[in-house]
Amino acid sequence: MTYSRDTTALSELTGQSVSTWSEEWRIDTEARTVLKMSKQKRDTFFTGRKDENGKITDPGAGVIEGTEPPKRS
């Protein structure tokens, strides 16, 4: 079995060649993953889920521990 030693890939966001070990590549892949989500899934991902009593059951990625989630208008 052979492995590729090429650790560069083309960034879809910038069009530049970046190392797949770099922070730029991590940001690129995370951004593509979030952008593929539906609006509803993105909202849940960032703001979390609440039960029927309004208690947060899953805080989501956008909520800092110990703080309230952002108010939505």
Most confident of 20-24, 46-50, 58-62, 64-68: 20-24
Residues, the chain: 73
Q: What dihedral angle (degrees, nearest 10) is formed by the CA atoms of 54, 58, 63, 67?
A: 50
Can you give the pLDDT at residue 72? 65
Reported as a single tens digit per residue, the pLDDT across 11-54 is 888 899 999 999 999 999 999 999 999 999 998 888 888 888 87
**Residues facing 17 on adjacent strands:** 10
DSSP 70: P
- The rounded Cα 48 to chain-centroid distance in angstroms is 13
Which segments of 37-73 does DSSP mark as H helices, in order?
39-47
DSSP 44: H
